[in-house]
Amino acid sequence: MRPRAHFLPQHLEFDTHILRIRHPNNRLVPVPIGPSLPRRDRAEQRAKHCRLMLIFFKPWRHASHLRLNSETWADAFQKFAATCAPTFLTLMDNMQILHECKDSRDDHFAKRRSG
């Protein structure tokens, strides 16, 4: 039996739901639907990128757990990245690589169109 975790008693789904760690052979790949994920290599998207990576990878129960009021999203993310599991950093790198691959694809087809 895989490990299970119950929600806190005050959670709305405490009586009806649990969390269970999936067996490695049965893992799923999440596919985000909606706007594209913010990029870390674009200054205008940096704060949004940092915020989203904290939401995805840092354990939290309340938004205030993600960063201190006095911190920027970039500062909070930098502190987290310095201490988080290397697996998380690899996943974040892979998310960025997807953007870079799309850029390369777009460049390739733009060159083909221009002759």
CA gap 100, 115 in Å, rounded: 23
pLDDT of amino acid 15: 96
pLDDT band at 1, cuts 50/70/90?
confident
Number of domains in the chain: 1
pTM above 0.85, yes or no: no
* Closest-CA residue to 80 (of 91, 70, 93, 66): 66
List, for residues 80-98, the tens digit of each pLDDT value: 999 999 999 999 999 999 8
Structure token pair of residue 16:
């009806």
Range of the domain at 26: 4-114
* Percent over 70 (pLDDT), the chain: 100
